[in-house]
Amino acid sequence: MITFKAEIERFAEMGEKTGWSYVFIPQAVANEIKADCKKSFRVKGRIDHVEIGGVATVPMGEGDFIIALKASLRKQLKKEMGAVVNLELEEDKDFKIEIPEDLELCLSDEPHLMDGFMKLPMSHRNWYINWVNSAKTEPTRTKRLVKIVSAMDRGMTFSEMMREDKKPRE
């Protein structure tokens, strides 16, 4: 477990990250948590007195990372931008998101669909799973399942599938 202090910061303008609150993890500290890693990985431990698990690190280039702090977590911490927090972190090797039963059934109809899904990096599978699980109605969930099956049949990544319906700007 690696222990360090970090200040809560917020992106002013940073594309999709605009407005995010986060703590910065410098390369030297990130290397102690997971050596020579340049892509996102999950951590567990504590931020101040609050237990965390399965939290994604976001690569920021040059081996540096950030951890986004949701409003609910900041509320538990009772801290906002500018406050210093104590972090105790280690790689969360146990983190897994279960494949929903309905998605598994749909992908199991054809062996190549499940094979394609399981060949994706875990982070990509998690995007699909979270997208299905975030559907608020049964019709939306069904549409998403159909779209995922179609994407797996055509060997598409999550981002390719999501961009497919976007119309080009004129």
> Using one digit for the tens of pLDDT, what is the confidence trace for 144-169?
999 999 999 998 888 888 888 776 65
Q: Which domain holds residue 85?
A: 2-91
What pLDDT, on the 0 to 100 scale, is given for residue 141?
A: 95
Return the SS3 of 79.
Answer: coil
Cβ atoms of 74 and 80 closer than 8 Å: yes
Asked if the structure places residue 115 within a domain, the reply is: yes
pLDDT at 124 over 90: no
Residue 83 has pLDDT above 70, yes or no: yes
Q: What is the pLDDT of residue 8?
A: 96
Residue 57, exposed/middle/buried by CB under 10 A (0-12, 13-18, 19+)? Answer: buried
Identify residue 8 by its one-letter amino acid code. I
Q: Are residues 78 and 115 in the same domain?
A: no
What local confidence, expressed as pLDDT, does residue 150 receive?
A: 93
Query: Quick one: 76 and 130 in the same domain?
Result: no
- Asked if residue 96 belongs to a domain, the reply is no
- My answer on whether 32 and 86 are in the same domain is yes
State pTM to two decimals: 0.63
The answer to the question of residue 170 being in a domain is no
Give the 3-state secondary structure of residue 95.
coil
Q: How many other C-beta atoms can be found within 10 angstroms of the C-beta atom of residue 87?
A: 21
